[in-house]
Amino acid sequence: MKYLIVFFFIVSAGSIFTGYFMNFENSEKLIGFGVLGMFFIVFPLFSYYRWKDKDVKDYLLTKENLDKMREREGDKRK
C-alpha cells in the first residue's frame, strides 16, 4: 500500500510540474489531472493507510478521556 501511495504521488506531482514548466496546449489539463489525483487518490489512500489500525475513540473528547487528561495533568504538577 505504501508503494502504491508513493507511486500515485510521484505521478500526480510529475503531472503538476510537467504542466507548469512545459508550455504546450494541454498543460492546464495536466496540472488539473495532477491536482485531482492528489486529492481524490493520494490523500484518501494515505488517510486510510495511516488510520486503518487506530481506534477513533482514543482521539475523541469523551468524559473518560478528559478524566485521564486531568489525572496526567495532576501527576505533572507534583
HEC sequence for the chain: CHHHHHHHHHHHHHHHHHHHHCCCCCHHHHHHHHHHHHHHHHHHHHHHHHHCCCCHHHHCCCHHHHHHHHHHHHHHHC
Containing structural domain, residue 62? 2-77
Distance CA 54, CA 57 (A): 9
Q: Kindly report the pTM of this predicted structure.
A: 0.69
Question: pLDDT per position in the chain (78 positions), as tens?
Answer: 899 999 999 999 999 999 999 988 999 999 999 999 999 999 999 999 988 888 877 778 888 888 888 888 776 665
Tell me how many domains the chain contains. 1
Decide if 4 contacts 45 (C-beta within 8 A). yes
